[in-house]
Amino acid sequence: MSAKLVQGYEVVIGFETHAQLSTQSKIFSRAPTAFGAEPNTQACAVDLALPGTLPVMNKGAVERAIELGLAVGAHVAERSVFARKNYFYPDLPKGYQISQFEIPVVQGGAVEFYLGDEKKTVRLVRAHLEEDAGKSLHEDFIGQSGIDLNRAGTPLLEIVTEPDIRSSEEAVAYAKELHKIVTWIGICDGNMQEGSFRCDANVSVRKPGQPLGTRREIKNLNSFKFMQQAIDFEVRWQIDQIEDGHAIQQATVLFDPDTGETRAMRTKEDAADYRYFPDPDLPPLVIDRDWVERVKSQMSELPRVMAARFVSDYGLPDYDATTLTQSKAMAAYFEAVAQACQQPKLASNWLMGEVSRRLNAGDGSIEACPVSAAQLAALVGRIADGTISNNAGKQVFDALWKGEGEVDALIEAKGLKQMNDSGALDKIVEEVLAANADNVAQYKAGKEKAFNALVGQVMKASKGKANPQQVNEALKAKLAG
Amino acid sequence: MTALHDLSVAALAAELRAKRVSAVETAQHFLARAAQHTARLGAPAEGASNGAFVALNEDATLAQARAADARLAAGTAGRLEGVPIAHKDIFVTRDFPTTAGSKMLSNYRSPFDATVVARLASEGMVTLGKLNCDEFAMGSGNENSAWSAVRNPWDASRIPGGSSGGSAAAVAARLTPAATGTDTGGSIRQPASFCGITGIKPTYGRASRYGMIAYASSLDQAGPMARSAEDCALLLSALCGPDPDRDSTSLDVPAEDFSRDLQRPLQGLRVGIPAEFFGEGLAADVRVPIEAALQALVDQGAVLVPLHLPRTELAIPVYYILAPAEASSNLSRFDGVKFGHRTKNPADLIDMYKKTRAEGFGDEVKRRIMIGTYVLSHGYYDAYYLQAQKIRRMIASDFQQAFTQCDVIAGPVAPTVAWKIGEKSDDPVANYLADIFTLPASLAGLPGLSLPCGLGAGGMPVGLQLIGNYLSEARLLNVAHQYQTATDWHTRQPGATA
């Protein structure tokens, strides 16, 4: 492995990501999961852990776990087990969290992505289902804390990697790819501000060839920007410690975006004994092959499968196919344009060029594009059939963006039609040749540049409406004759 | 006419249906009796109360009774319309406080009824009140209640058994024709035996655990307690049934009419007699009536099949590892944050947890939380919890082996009759050892029934235990009913208080 070294150290990172599953109701109760409600209005008797209440598995959460397993090529366990993770905290109503410990529902798998031109593969250890805790609110309560249990029991899928990541850039690329997968298959809304996609990074450093160093876990990285900053800081801090002769202590740390530093929350010595044991309230989760097949048949095409299809069916280069499958909406938009105009490469060029440029000036999502796929297809069609030039196409696109009309009407109104009348073109060519005898002489003397000057004169005389291809052909014919 | 409190559930239901008595009259009659035997509502003179009831709500009871009368009048009555019942205080109820016998929940009111409570109400049963029990169902003598010890109606100086001690005492003293109980390691069968009544713990998963405050989730099971097998069959039919939306461990088997086989003759019944249930630990005064009961079954055509349940003794350590392990986790929710007791003026969060739980829980609960926490701890889990789970599976397979040779297993419920209040209260291990004959069926998840079969030392009742294979409740009730048609032990009344 060609690991990038930092001050002679190899960086080793493993990820744990909590993806909040997009179910309507909680993982073990029927209370709703919507974000942002008044405190404690979305917690039912089960979420409050009232005496006598019991958990009942939400099948929707299981299906989302199955979907992830299929998306990352993992083994979906026929039988997995829920366990209790016991600890006291005010926002943990039962005094234990129901999670999966020894036997998780998703086992193995991998996430593949490009870091620049280099293809990377990060192996997954597992993904397991668990419930979220509530929230402790320390503001607004003088001398006391408030507890909001709306989030308690929200379904989470914790996705754990092997320590395969070798740099902060790769870590961010992995996290972005995983984010793309979970939002693409629709199991998670991916909203990092609202905590729907939370990453913990286990970071250690070592000299190449040495055993793994002691790791520190950076908790709750909720933006890709902070993720990279936090890991970079942590790596430098660990290297400095080691260089100064200090051993790294296993610890959990938090990143402070204001200072740009990581800070230890607790060390291994304070680590709780969670007294895991199988939850006697929940029988083992049994997933038969039929269920997996049913989920599979209802799943949409995965991004890497779709990218491969774009290469084989539309003849797109790998780069185009990968770029266009960054989001489901972009891919769908591309397919609609390509199928309507039958010009996939031209459609791809427009999407990755002009369309992306305009979108990136705004919020960047294709859903916000004011130009419909049908309109772009019509525009691409008019460029392909020679009605307008690519440059004229940009003017039409600008007008479409501003909602000024439809493609053909715009071409007409703006007088952008290329001169396809060969009689008219021949006349202009003859006039240009007559008026530029010196260029003609130079061309005949072997100077290629003189030809380009003639093309420019013809284009100018046609007010840009001549088709450059036809101009070339007409000029060559006349000069040869 | 026979006094209302001497009527069986079946007879009382018939009287109500025939409108010879109203549900309101019936409720008033039983409420007046129950009010003499409360543990925390006022302070009755020493010895006058058996302490069975911990909560009464006359308004709620009479409102239920009036509704029952209305349905009886309208011809929309349930099968048990207007018949009173009282619930062990481990079942949560909307109309009554629910304390689980603990200071931790001294003022707790549930916003919902337990499924078992709701099912019995939907058959028309009228709730009289809540019954005393060992704190969080942990105990064999009802001495661990935060409210008061319950006195055995047969001898007020003795325990009624536990943890469903209030239920057994209330039925025996005819304060209610029926009660619910819960059985984790024998908590229905043993108090039924000690108080001379009939009780059945169904197959694990038959009755919903929703609304039953959890002690040991993999063992807890609800069941009825009444004076006869016939009554228990009626009650069990009403309270069992799948509850898949609320209890994931509820069995996916339809509700049954457990009365259907009551009249079946015992001719050819193979009764397994485990040698381990008849060893040295079995007191002679219990052995004699048990052997007489077995002879009575033989007289009705049954055949005794000697067999072995070789891991009977291991059931004690296995149970006292697994049940506390689950309890230590189940009771974590009682932390002073959301409901129940919270200490006054804690210094900080940890102090609040410590003081709240130190003040709210009694000694036996604390003991089991500590045992459970220990056996689940890192470094001990494999040696205790995992090992106990292995032996639990072996105990279950021993029973399956036994059931290849017999239809039901019979033996004593407990090694002795009810002991004196205070006699074992300083010796938890002595209490644990007395559970030896009820624990194996609990660990295996099998149905078990206790029925009165004679009197032992001090004229105290002795119970015969019948254990059946999974889902064989109808057969157990059949055997018990046939025995009760031939004998009259179940009709004997305590002279002590009633």
The enclosing domain of A457 has a CATH number of: 1.10.10.410
Q: Is residue B362 part of a domain?
A: no
pLDDT band at A300 (very low <50, low <70, confident <90, very high): confident
pLDDT over 90 percentage in chain A: 69
Whether residues A85 and A219 share a domain: the answer is yes
Whether residues A429 and A318 share a domain: the answer is no
Q: Is residue B99 part of a domain?
A: yes
- Return the ∠ at Cα A184 (arms to A180 and A187), rounded to 5°: 105
Judge: A48–B335 Cβ closer than 8 Å, yes or no.
no
**CA nearest to B126, candidates B25, B1, B33:** B25
**CA nearest to A128, candidates A82, A94, A70:** A82
Window B:88-127, CB contacts with A under 8 Å? 91-92, 98, 100, 105, 108, 110-112, 114
ipTM: 0.96
State which residue of chain B sits closest to A46, comparing Cα positions. B246
State which residue of chain A sits closest to B330, comparing Cα positions. A94
Judge: A56–B248 Cβ closer than 8 Å, yes or no.
yes
At residue B378, does pLDDT exceed 90?
yes
Q: How far apart are CA A20 and CA A33, in angstroms?
A: 10
Q: What is the mean pLDDT of residues A147-164?
A: 97
Q: How far apart are CA A86 and CA B375, in angstroms?
A: 13
Judge: A95–B100 Cβ closer than 8 Å, yes or no.
no
Judge: A52–B339 Cβ closer than 8 Å, yes or no.
no
Whether residues A114 and A213 share a domain: the answer is yes
Of the given ranges (A253-262, A423-432, B151-160), which has the lowest mean pLDDT?
Answer: A423-432
Judge: A94–B333 Cβ closer than 8 Å, yes or no.
yes
Q: Which residues of A are less than 8 Å from B91 in CB distance?
A: 52
Judge: B329–A93 Cβ closer than 8 Å, yes or no.
no
Whether residues A45 and A80 share a domain: the answer is yes
Q: Which residues pair with B307 in a beta bridge?
A: B274
Whether residues A284 and A321 share a domain: the answer is no
Judge: B247–A90 Cβ closer than 8 Å, yes or no.
no
Whether residues A119 and A232 share a domain: the answer is yes
Judge: B332–A51 Cβ closer than 8 Å, yes or no.
no
Q: What is the CATH number of the domain that holds B113?
A: 3.90.1300.10
What domain range includes position B103? 4-268
Q: Would you say the C-alpha torsion B322, B335, A133, B347 has a positive or negative sign?
A: negative
Q: Which residue, among A275, A281, A286, would best test binding to B if mutated, counting the most B CBs under 10 Å from its CB?
A: A275
Q: What is the mean pLDDT of residues A308-320?
A: 92
pLDDT of residue A143: 76
Judge: B244–A56 Cβ closer than 8 Å, yes or no.
yes
Distance from CA of B107 to the nearest CA of A (A): 13
Residues B215-230 pLDDT 10s? 999 999 999 999 999 9
pLDDT over 70 percentage in chain B: 98
Of B100, B110, B333, the CB nearest to A93: B333
Q: How far apart are CA B64 and CA B47, in angstroms?
A: 31
Q: Under 8 Å CB-to-CB from A309, ≥6 apart: which residues?
A: A301
pLDDT of residue A459: 85
pLDDT band at B415 (very low <50, low <70, confident <90, very high): very high
Distance from CA of B275 to the nearest CA of A (A): 32
Q: Where are the beta strands (DSSP E) in A358-438?
A: none
Whether residues A285 and A221 share a domain: the answer is yes
Mark whether B187 is an active-site residue: yes
Of A48, A52, A280, the CB nearest to B212: A52
Q: Would you say the C-alpha torsion B103, B108, B114, B119 has a positive or negative sign?
A: positive
At residue B246, does pLDDT exceed 60?
yes
Out of B8, B22, B49, B88, pick the active-site residue: B88
Of A51, A90, A147, the CB nearest to B213: A51
Token digits for B366? Answer: 């604390």
B249, B242 Cβ separation under 8 angstroms: no
Distance from CA of B30 to the nearest CA of A (A): 28
Residues A352-395 pLDDT 10s? 999 988 888 877 688 889 999 999 999 999 999 888 888 889 99
pLDDT of residue B44: 47
pLDDT of residue A362: 78
pLDDT band at B497 (very low <50, low <70, confident <90, very high): very low
Of A50, A56, A276, the CB nearest to B110: A50
At residue B43, does pLDDT exceed 50?
no
pLDDT of residue B347: 94
Token digits for A234? Answer: 């942590």
Q: Which residue, among B337, B350, B382, would best test binding to A if mutated, counting the most A CBs under 10 Å from its CB?
A: B337
Whether residues A73 and A168 share a domain: the answer is yes
Q: What is the mean pLDDT of residues B252-257?
A: 94
Q: β-strand A75-76 against A106-107: which pairing, if any?
A: antiparallel
Mapped to the 3 state alphabet, what secondary structure does chain B carry?
Answer: CCCHHHCCHHHHHHHHHCCCCCHHHHHHHHHHHHHHHECCCCCCCCCCCCCCEEEECHHHHHHHHHHHHHHHHHCCCCCCCCCEEEEECCECCCCCCCCCCCHHHCCCCCCCCCHHHHHHHHCCCEEEEEECCCHHHCCCCCCCCCCCCCCECCECCECCCCCCHHHHHHHHCCCCCEEEEEECCCCCHHHHHHHCCEEEECCCCCCCCCCECCCCCCCCEEEEEECCHHHHHHHHHHHCCCCCCCCCCCCCCCCCCCCCCCCCCCCCCEEEEEHHHHCCCCCHHHHHHHHHHHHHHHHCCCEEEEECCCCCCCHHHHHHHHHHHHHHHHHHHCCCCCCCCCCCCCCCHHHHHHHHHHHHCCHHHHHHHHHHHHHHCCCCCHHHHHHHHHHHHHHHHHHHHHCCCCCEEEEECCCCCCCECCCCCCCHHHHHHCCCCCHHHHHHCCCEEEEEEEECHHHCEEEEEEEECCCCHHHHHHHHHHHHHHCCHHHCCCCCCC
Residues B312-367 pLDDT 10s? 999 999 999 999 999 999 999 999 999 999 999 999 999 999 999 999 999 999 99
At residue A471, does pLDDT exceed 90?
no
Mean pLDDT over all residues of chain B?
95
At residue A349, does pLDDT exceed 80?
yes
**CA nearest to B410, candidates B258, B285, B270:** B270
Backbone angles phi, psi at B255, to 5 degrees: -60, 150
Q: Is residue B259 part of a domain?
A: yes
pLDDT of residue A1: 44
Q: How many CA atoms lie within 13 A of A233 on its CB side?
A: 19
Judge: B353–A52 Cβ closer than 8 Å, yes or no.
no
Judge: A86–B339 Cβ closer than 8 Å, yes or no.
no
Q: What is the mean pLDDT of residues A336-353?
A: 94
Q: Is residue B290 part of a domain?
A: no
Q: How far apart are CA B33 and CA B31, in angstroms?
A: 5
Residues A186-204 pLDDT 10s? 999 999 999 999 999 999 9
Q: Which residues of A are less than 8 Å from B325 in CB distance?
A: 277
Last residue of one domain, picked from the residues A258, A273, A292: A292
- CA B196 vs CA A455, B370, B423, B440: distances in Å: 115, 34, 20, 22
At residue B114, does pLDDT exceed 50?
yes
Whether residues A266 and A370 share a domain: the answer is no
Answer with the residue of higher pLDDT: A287 or A474: A287
Q: Would you say the C-alpha torsion B437, B442, B448, B451 has a positive or negative sign?
A: positive
Q: How far apart are CA A152 and CA A148, in angstroms?
A: 8
State which residue of chain B sits closest to A30, comparing Cα positions. B245
Q: What is the mean pLDDT of residues B476-481?
A: 98
Last residue of one domain, picked from the residues A292, A325, A357: A292
Of A93, A277, A281, the CB nearest to B249: A281
Q: Would you say the C-alpha torsion A450, A456, A457, A459 has a positive or negative sign?
A: positive
pLDDT of residue A439: 87
Please state the domain count of chain B: 1
Of the given ranges (A60-74, A337-351, B425-439), which has the lowest mean pLDDT?
Answer: B425-439
pLDDT band at B47 (very low <50, low <70, confident <90, very high): low
Q: How far apart are CA A436 and CA A297, in angstroms?
A: 69
At residue B498, does pLDDT exceed 50?
no
Q: How far apart are CA B97 and CA B38, in angstroms?
A: 14
Q: How far apart are CA A109 and CA B108, in angstroms?
A: 48
Residues of chain A contacting B, Cβ within 8 Å: 45, 48-57, 84, 86, 88, 90, 93-96, 147, 273, 275-277, 280-283
Of A84, A93, A283, the CB nearest to B338: A93
- CA A443 vs CA A162, A191, A477: distances in Å: 66, 63, 13
B214 touches A: beta carbon within 8 Å: yes
pLDDT of residue B40: 64
Judge: A273–B377 Cβ closer than 8 Å, yes or no.
yes
pLDDT of residue A140: 72
Q: Which residue, among B204, B333, B355, B356, would best test binding to A if mutated, counting the most A CBs under 10 Å from its CB?
A: B333
Judge: B217–A280 Cβ closer than 8 Å, yes or no.
yes
Q: What is the mean pLDDT of residues B413-424?
A: 95
State which residue of chain B sits closest to A98, comparing Cα positions. B329
Judge: B210–A273 Cβ closer than 8 Å, yes or no.
no
How many residue contacts between A and B have a Cβ separation below 8 Å? 100
Distance from CA of B375 to the nearest CA of A (A): 9
Of A56, A90, A277, the CB nearest to B349: A90
Q: What is the mean pLDDT of residues A226-247?
A: 96
- CA A222 vs CA A199, B243, B417: distances in Å: 7, 40, 65
Residues A198-234 pLDDT 10s? 999 999 999 999 999 999 999 999 899 999 999 999 9
Residues A165-191 pLDDT 10s? 999 999 999 999 999 999 999 999 999
Instruction: Please report where in the chains the tokens 């020679």 appear, as a residue.
Output: A386
At residue B113, does pLDDT exceed 50?
yes
Out of B187, B208, B259, B442, pick the active-site residue: B187
pLDDT of residue B41: 52
Answer with the residue of higher pLDDT: A50 or A3: A50
Find the distance separating the first CA and the last CA of chain A, reported in whole Å: 63
Token digits for B104? Answer: 């931790």
Last residue of one domain, picked from the residues A414, A442, A462: A414
Mean pLDDT over all residues of chain A?
92
State which residue of chain A sits closest to B376, comparing Cα positions. A275
pLDDT of residue B5: 97
Q: Is residue B287 part of a domain?
A: no
DSSP A150: S
Whether residues A225 and A200 share a domain: the answer is yes
Mark whether B228 is an active-site residue: no
Please state the domain count of chain A: 3
Token digits for A458? Answer: 């013809």
What domain range includes position A55? 5-292
Q: What is the mean pLDDT of residues B60-84?
A: 97
At residue B244, does pLDDT exceed 60?
yes
Whether residues A242 and A305 share a domain: the answer is no
> Which of helix, strand or coil describes residue A436?
coil
Single-letter amino acid, residue A277: F
Whether residues A134 and A253 share a domain: the answer is yes
At residue B446, does pLDDT exceed 50?
yes
